[in-house]
Amino acid sequence: MRFVRARRMRLSLRSTSARLALAVTASFLLAFVLLGIGVHYAVSAMLTQDARELVRVDAAGLVEVYRDEGRAALLGELRERIATDEDPDAVYALTATDGRVVAGDYRDLPTHRQGARWIEFTEHGADGDLRVVAQLQRLSDGTTLLTGTRTRSQDRFLALMLRTALAALLVAATLGALIGWLTSRWVSRRLRHLDDTAVRVGSGELGLRARLDGSDDAFDRLARRFNGMLDRIEELLGGVRHATDHIAHDLRTPLTRLRNRLEELRRRQDADEAGTQLDAAIGETDQLLHSFGALLRLARIEAQPPVHDEPVLDLSELVRDAVELYTPIAAERGIALRANLAGSGETRLRGDADQLFQMLVNLLDNAVKYAPAASEVALSLQRERQALVVRVDDRGPGIPEADRERAFDRFQRMETHRGSPGTGLGLSLVRAIVQRHGGQIGLGDNVPGLRVTLVLPTEPSAR
Amino acid sequence: MRVLLVEDDPHTAGFIAKGLREDGHAVDHAGNGKDGLFLATTERYDSIVLDRMLPGLDGLVVLQTLRGAGNRTPVLLLTALGEVDHRVEGLRAGADDYLVKPFAYAELSARLDSILRRGQAGGSEPTRLRVADLELDLLSREARRGDKRIELQPREFRLLEYLMRQAERVVTRTMLLEAVWDYHFDPQTNVIDVHISRLRQKIDQGHARPLLHTVRGAGYRLGA
């Protein structure tokens, strides 16, 4: 039904903008994380480069001592440096020819690839794990000198940077989510009005327009185009209605003339053969005019807006009146008309009394017309939650399932009924009236016979 | 009686004018709204038959202008548009009755009679209606024919009351439908005829002189 569809539309609208907000936030965060990782690598590479530069200079100094003053001087220099602990982060080691460490901070050289010049390793010390960057140098006597530095301050800096970045990420995520939420709310609010307008216009309130705020942003422009489109539709429909009125006028006038001429002739004739023929001709003209009138009425009802502005009325009163109207004609054929109405006060709904009465009359007329003599036609009116359910059951031939949908088409009359009087517009009119009242109509099997079921909402929803 | 006919279609105008003259009325005809308004304001008429769609000056405008000037001549509005909103619009503009084209002349004649009578009536409402020996008490809501009481359903009572108020005049099916049933709808079959024949059984059965007559091609008439 209309109501359900509208709600689903709004829900999906909201989730669309929520998805949009989520996507924006996620891509924002992804960009932040990628940038953070890049910066982290760049900074840490730069810091390592600095440490290596430091080590290289230090090592060059030591190699110079070795070259100028020999191995003993180097050993002395190293021992002194280790003992004095001038630079707490500097590390040294010197091996003998067999690879044993003879002086230095380590008992053995850390494991490393054969021939590597630069190594990085982790030192497990009293202050926790420390990263060390070191250079290995083969001296001319076949021993190896390790010169390195602990990257304590660099690591601290990196850790601080990481912490700061994480905090920033947290703030950014919160802000992103908030902005995303606000954006989605704003978008869905802007769209909801347009959506509501579209739903209501779709259900027939053609005069409605989307609100403009004069901001000339994308939404405002969309609303303006939308309104322009509605203006055009209304103009076209108005044109159709105008044309219908004129066709009604222009075609009915000659028909009326024809009828008047026949009537005038009839007045001059007595009840002889020609008089009977004229009566028949007048009858045919009346039938034609009647069909034409019904067609126009149908077109007008279909073009009318839904019944939101109609007064509230009691449908059971209408049903009682319709049953009373048809009881004599049914009795003439020995058909009993039985009404089963829900308690008073339960059967109120918003609607057009004349149209609803016409709807009941058309249904009863069909039922009485097709019911076999001495059978029963039952009309029931019950309330089921937010709707009134009208059922008209007869014991006639019914309508085969395959033909039920077609039964509502204009001038569609069942083959078996072609001979009987009627315009072939009765059920089309019933359906148009039901739809204008936001309801539904269904044809079913009364085994045997036809069961017509109408469901009319008590308060047709605007949205 | 003097009737002003404002109708642009010469055929329809001729048809109506001919019928009215045959009924013994004097008829003036105007072919457009301007002439119609001029005649209506300068001459005195007992009633006006006014087409709604007119070249130049629209029928509704003519009607509103007349009513605005304080002219209370009974007006029967003719139109090709049979919609309820048009009907309401016409009555609101000051029409006394409203007739949808196409109509049988009898329908127009019956309605014109009815609005003329409404115009002349006034004064106290009767509490008792009488046609020959048929009597309807509007207070006790009792019907009698001679000394025999007739049992009537509420709707039958309204039907009889309307027929008796229009006694000796032709009443069409549409007029009955509008006056006795409170809905504007299109009756599918001869529902009204069946109601009338039921009523006829109740009031005429067992009496030598029938009171409720069928007028061929027009409707019904209650009278001696």
Q: What pLDDT was estimated at residue A434?
A: 92
Cβ neighbours of B82 in A, within 8 Å: 293, 296-297
Mean pLDDT for the stretch of residues A137-158: 85
Write down the pTM of the prediction: 0.61
Q: What pLDDT was estimated at residue B222?
A: 92
- Mean pLDDT score of chain A: 82
Element (H, E) at A127: none
| A355, burial (CB in 10 Å: exposed 0-12, middle 13-18, buried 19+) | buried
A296 shares its domain with A328: no
Whether B179 contacts B114, CB under 8 Å: no
Residues B12, A257: C-beta atoms closer than 8 Å: yes
B151 shares its domain with B83: no
- The full DSSP string for A399-416 is --GGGTTGGGSTT---GG
Q: What tens digit of pLDDT does each residue of A254-267 get?
A: 887 888 888 888 87
User: Which tokens go with A31?
Assistant: 């960009």
User: Does the pLDDT value for residue A462 go beyond 70?
Assistant: no
Residues B185, A279: C-beta atoms closer than 8 Å: no
Sheet holding B170-172, edge to edge: B170-172, B219-222, B212-215
pLDDT band, residue B103 (cuts 50/70/90): confident
Q: What pLDDT was estimated at residue A461?
A: 59
User: Which percentage of chain A shows pLDDT scores above 70?
Assistant: 90
A289 shares its domain with A420: no
* Other CB atoms within 10 Å distance of the CB of residue A192: 15
Q: Give, in order, the Cα–Cα distances in Å from B205 to each of A241, B131, B148.
A: 51, 16, 11
User: Does the pLDDT value for residue B120 go beyond 60?
Assistant: yes
Q: What tens digit of pLDDT does each residue of A338-362 get?
A: 998 877 678 889 899 989 999 999 9
Q: What pLDDT was estimated at residue A176?
A: 80
Mean pLDDT for the stretch of residues A227-238: 86
User: At which residue do the structure tokens 């509008």 appear?
Assistant: B178
Residues A325, B191: C-beta atoms closer than 8 Å: yes
CATH number of the domain within which B41 lies: 3.40.50.2300
CA dist., res. A117 & res. A343, Å (int): 101
Residues A264, B18: C-beta atoms closer than 8 Å: yes
Query: A391 versus B190: which is more confidently predicted?
Result: A391
A84 shares its domain with A119: yes
B36 shares its domain with B136: no
User: Which percentage of chain A shows pLDDT scores above 90?
Assistant: 14
Query: B125 versus A100: which is more confidently predicted?
Result: A100
A453 shares its domain with A311: yes
Q: Is residue A407 part of a domain?
A: yes
User: Does the pLDDT value for residue A49 go beyond 80?
Assistant: yes
Among A62-71, A201-210, A338-347, B63-72, which stretch is predicted with the lowest mean pLDDT?
A: A201-210
Helix ranges (DSSP H) in chain B: 10-22, 33-42, 59-68, 84-92, 105-120, 154-165, 173-180, 191-204
User: Which tokens go with A433?
Assistant: 């009236």
User: Does the pLDDT value for residue B51 go beyond 50?
Assistant: yes
Query: B65 versus A202: which is more confidently predicted?
Result: B65
A274 shares its domain with A315: no
Q: Is residue A70 part of a domain?
A: yes
A312 shares its domain with A452: yes
A251 shares its domain with A391: no
Q: What pLDDT was estimated at residue B119?
A: 63
Select the residue from A325, A392, A423, A427 to test the B interface by mutation, using most B Cβ atoms within 10 A: A325
Which of B11, B101, B105 has its CB closest to that of A252?
B101
User: Does the pLDDT value for residue B29 go beyond 90?
Assistant: yes
Q: What pLDDT was estimated at residue B75?
A: 94
CATH number of the domain within which A286 lies: 1.10.287
Distance of CA A62 to the CA centre of its chain: 75
User: Does the pLDDT value for residue A78 go beyond 50?
Assistant: yes
Domain stop point among B97, B120, B143: B120
| β-bridge mates for residue B98, sequence order | B77
Q: What pLDDT was estimated at residue A357?
A: 94
Residues B83, A249: C-beta atoms closer than 8 Å: no
Mean pLDDT for the stretch of residues A152-168: 87
- The full DSSP string for A240-274 is HHHHHHHHHHHHHHHHHHHHHHHHHHHHHS-SSHH
pLDDT band, residue A415 (cuts 50/70/90): low
Q: What tens digit of pLDDT does each residue of B202-217 get?
A: 999 888 889 999 987 7
Helix, strand counts (H, E) of chain B: 8, 12
User: Does the pLDDT value for residue A50 go beyond 50?
Assistant: yes
Residues B82, A354: C-beta atoms closer than 8 Å: no
Check: complex ipTM more than 0.90: no
User: Which percentage of chain B shows pLDDT scores above 70?
Assistant: 94
Mean pLDDT for the stretch of residues A229-252: 76
Helix, strand, or coil (residue A200): helix
Structural domains of chain B, count:
2
B29 shares its domain with B110: yes
Cβ neighbours of B55 in A, within 8 Å: none
CA dist., res. B144 & res. B163, Å (int): 15
Q: Is residue A419 part of a domain?
A: yes
Q: What tens digit of pLDDT does each residue of B150-179 get?
A: 999 888 999 999 999 888 888 988 888 888
Distance of CA A402 to the CA centre of its chain: 35
Query: B189 versus A284: which is more confidently predicted?
Result: A284
User: Does the pLDDT value for residue B50 go beyond 70?
Assistant: yes
What is chain B's Cα-based Rg?
19
Mean pLDDT for the stretch of residues B19-48: 91
User: Does the pLDDT value for residue A381 go beyond 90?
Assistant: yes
| β-bridge mates for residue A441, sequence order | A454
CATH number of the domain within which A311 lies: 3.30.565.10
Which of A249, A264, A422 has its CB closest to that of B53?
A249
CA dist., res. B204 & res. B199, Å (int): 8
pLDDT band, residue B104 (cuts 50/70/90): confident
Q: What pLDDT was estimated at residue A420?
A: 55
Using an 8 Å CB-CB cutoff, list residues of chain B that contact chain A. Answer: 9, 11-12, 15, 18, 53, 80-84, 101-105, 153, 155, 181-191, 194-195, 198, 217
CATH number of the domain within which A146 lies: 3.30.450.20
The amino acid occupying position A137 is Q
Domain stop point among A303, A323, A342: A303
Which of B53, B185, B188 has its CB closest to that of A426?
B188
The amino acid occupying position A41 is Y
Q: Is residue A331 part of a domain?
A: yes
Q: What tens digit of pLDDT does each residue of A172-205 get?
A: 888 888 888 888 888 888 788 888 888 888 766 7
Element (H, E) at B189: none
CB pairs under 8 A between A and B: 87
Cβ neighbours of B153 in A, within 8 Å: 324
Cβ neighbours of A354 in B, within 8 Å: 84, 183-185
Q: What tens digit of pLDDT does each residue of A291-318 get?
A: 777 777 887 787 778 877 888 899 999 9
Select the residue from B153, B181, B188 to test the A interface by mutation, using most A Cβ atoms within 10 A: B188
User: Does the pLDDT value for residue A239 go beyond 90?
Assistant: no
Q: Give, in order, the Cα–Cα distances in Å from B198 to each of B3, B132, B153, B201.
A: 37, 20, 11, 5
User: Does the pLDDT value for residue A376 go beyond 80?
Assistant: yes
In terms of residue numbers, what domain contains B6? 2-120
A338 shares its domain with A430: yes
Q: What pLDDT was estimated at residue B45?
A: 92
- B26-30 vs B2-6, strand pairing mode: parallel
Mean pLDDT for the stretch of residues A372-376: 90
Residues A256, B187: C-beta atoms closer than 8 Å: no
User: Does the pLDDT value for residue B101 go beyond 90?
Assistant: no
User: Which tokens go with A19?
Assistant: 């998805």
Tell me the shortest Cα–Cα distance from A375 to chain B, in angstroms: 19
Domain stop point among A141, A159, A177: A159
Among A72-81, A156-165, A289-298, B161-170, which stretch is predicted with the lowest mean pLDDT?
A: A289-298
Mean pLDDT for the stretch of residues A271-285: 82
A272 shares its domain with A391: no
pLDDT band, residue A6 (cuts 50/70/90): very low
Tell me the shortest Cα–Cα distance from A369 to chain B, in angstroms: 10
Structural domains of chain A, count:
3
Of B71, B20, B102, the residue nearest B62 (C-alpha): B71
In terms of residue numbers, what domain contains A112? 31-159
